[in-house]
Structure 1
Amino acid sequence: MEDIKKVYDVIVIGAGPGGLTAALYASRSNLSTLLLEKGIPGGQMNNTAEIENYSGFSSIMGPDLSMKMYEGAKQFGAEHVYGDVKEIIDHETEKELVTADKSYFAKSVIIATGAEHKKLGVKGEAELNGRGVSYCAVCDGAFFRNKHVVVVGGGDSAVEEGTYLTQFASKVTIVHRRSELRAQKILQDRAFKNEKVDFIWDSVVEEITGEEKVDGVRLKNINTGDYSQLEADGVFIYIGLLPNSESFRNLPITNQEGWIETDSQMMTAIPGVFAIGDVRDTVLRQVATAVGDGSVAGNAAYQYVEELNEKMEKQEA
């Protein structure tokens, strides 16, 4: 006997804060809801030591908030399976989500795939990844106890994670291509006051050196053109984000940079396909904004599915 094809009311791709919230709102509205996630629930929150700017908590560990949100997302019956979506095929009233081993079907889709760290693209970065090169201070910071580490970048993530690393490292040197930081002032103040944090301005990393493991970085001053070698045991890279939207480039929903464009209801150019959180073309990428996006999309998906059901019932009558 052939299996009856199951068509969910909504499938949420990605289980970060936005996706988890969307699943909560959708399932609470009595929609059959599936969470498809290729990693562990929580997304980038799992790589964040302390979250201090999410309302309701003066401070909470990223993995702890991830688990709380995951438990909340499932309380109204949302299902959760592992899956890496390779493509979405629009069949109008149905959307087909193609993974490596099977296809899933839904009346609506909420894309919450987030973004990933940009790479420097220099010699030694890929070769020494996991052997001194890292993009996650929470994951790898403890390996650098009493050692010197370099943090590349000048935004919120670079400065916050650089400060976090001082609880392990003996010294943290932040290398920034500009003459001043772009991070929030409160994060800058903490870094400047921390005796373990040093700064190298107007400089870029040209190469990460080392044989079996990182032993330093080769720097170039962008003003003078001079090169220098800085000894270090580890390099943490925080130079921005790239949208995880490769699987959706076949659809007319992304801009030239790959960010997904939506309206105020989180709807993309394709009816029934929504996008939220860090993958969306937006001015701020934080846990709070992803949660806000998720609540809007979960509600909008409910409205869309209700209208779609009414339309299909009329056609069948």
Structure 2
Amino acid sequence: MVDVIIIGAGPAGLSAAVNAMTRGKTVRIFSNKENYLSKAERVDNHLGFYNVSGKELMDKFKEHAEAMNIKVEDGKVVNILPMGESFMVNINGDIAEAKKVILSMGVSKTKEIPGESRLLGSGVSYCATCDGMLYRNKNAVVWDQSKEALEEANYLQSIGVNVTFVSKKERSEHLNSNIKYINGTLTEVIGEDVVKSVKAGDVVIDTDAVFMLRDAVAPTALIDGLKTDGNFIAVDRNMETNIEGVYAAGDITGKPLQLSKAVSEGLIAAQHAALQIDKIKEN
């Protein structure tokens, strides 16, 4: 078990990692996507830097983290489970444990469809390798929204799941020939207590499960009961959410969506998390 797990390796996440390490805490940081700052053509409003590209700044941030032996691990976090004094974090089927968690994934562009959150864990899944064996000899729909979707659809078919692949792209030659393909996008998950079917436009597909294989999971789907303020995560002055021990920092907490705010909030979240860990040790 480590002291702090950080989800997201942009300015807020790297700032949190550096500051947690400075306070003597062990850290793991996960990310599976490029940070938006890297694509910024020019940044003029971050104190101490003028007329630099976003990529130059991100490279500097990464160099700082690497100099402190902070390694960003590639992985998509699919859910977080509170366990009293700690948290179990599921990274594509691999489980890690931490005393505190900091969410710093940036603005969430993931939009849930009707029925998705209500049936999460009752046929809706975000991880094929985690839940695939539950649907062996059953029907499952895989919704293509990430670069791993093809691989995971093929994996499900290989373990005996009857897969239907839904994608806006043309059928790939790498998709198993036994997998049914539907061109489109999912618009609704249907069922009372468990998934019974999904809609792709006007087409209704009967199924026992649907795998939403996105590059990122919506924050509210990561951990049950997380409070939001509109499209953002609600936090207090210490960057702590309504769930004790879970923090959020950066664009994910709301406007202004600025680099300096993200760096500052990462620092605040990490320092408060470290302080709380130290208080527990003293007691």
**Are positions 1:290 and 2:282 aligned together?**
no
Return the index of the structure with the highest Cα Rg. Answer: 1
Change (3 A) 1:108 1:118: closer
CA–CA separation in structure 2 for the residues paired with 1:89 and 1:269: 15
Per-residue Cα deviation, 1:168-222 (whole angstroms, up to 9, x for no partner): xxxxxxxxxxxxxxxxxxxxxxxxxxxxxxxxxxxxxxxxxxxxxxxxxxxxxxx
**Are positions 1:21 and 2:22 aligned together?**
no
Change (3 A) 1:257 1:95: same
Change (3 A) 1:307 1:77: farther
Contact kept, 8 Å, 1:13 with 1:36, in 2: the verdict is yes
**Are positions 1:101 and 2:73 aligned together?**
no
Counterpart residue type for residue 295 of structure 1: L
Taking structure 1 as the reference length, the TM-score comes to: 0.53
Say which SS state the counterpart of residue 269 (structure 1) adopts. Answer: coil
CA–CA separation in structure 2 for the residues paired with 1:20 and 1:301: 15
CA–CA separation in structure 1 for the residues paired with 2:85 and 2:59: 34
CA–CA separation in structure 1 for the residues paired with 2:82 and 2:231: 19
Contact kept, 8 Å, 2:108 with 2:219, in 1: the verdict is no
**Are positions 1:253 and 2:226 aligned together?**
yes
Per-residue Cα deviation, 1:65-89 (whole angstroms, up to 9, x for no partner): 1011011123323232111001110
**Are positions 1:49 and 2:41 aligned together?**
yes
**Are positions 1:308 and 2:248 aligned together?**
no
CA–CA separation in structure 2 for the residues paired with 1:102 and 1:54: 37
Counterpart residue type for residue 279 of structure 1: I
Contact kept, 8 Å, 2:80 with 2:222, in 1: the verdict is no
Q: Say how many residue pairs are matched.
A: 179
Contact kept, 8 Å, 1:32 with 1:78, in 2: the verdict is no
The 5 Å alignment of 1:1-317 reads 7-40=1-34, 43-116=35-108, 245-246=218-219, 248=221, 250-255=223-228, 257-280=230-253, 282-311=254-283
Contact kept, 8 Å, 1:255 with 1:261, in 2: the verdict is yes
Contact kept, 8 Å, 1:85 with 1:247, in 2: the verdict is no
CA–CA separation in structure 2 for the residues paired with 1:44 and 1:283: 16
CA–CA separation in structure 1 for the residues paired with 2:280 and 2:257: 31
Say which SS state the counterpart of residue 274 (structure 1) adopts. Answer: strand
Aligned counterpart, 1:4: none
Counterpart residue type for residue 91 of structure 2: T
Taking structure 2 as the reference length, the TM-score comes to: 0.59
Query: Gapped runs of 5+ residues in structure 2?
Result: 112-215
Give RMSD over aligned pairs.
2.1
Query: Deviation at 1:257?
Result: 3.1
Query: Deviation at 1:248?
Result: 4.0
Identity %: 26
CA–CA separation in structure 2 for the residues paired with 1:88 and 1:249: 6
Query: Deviation at 1:283?
Result: 3.1
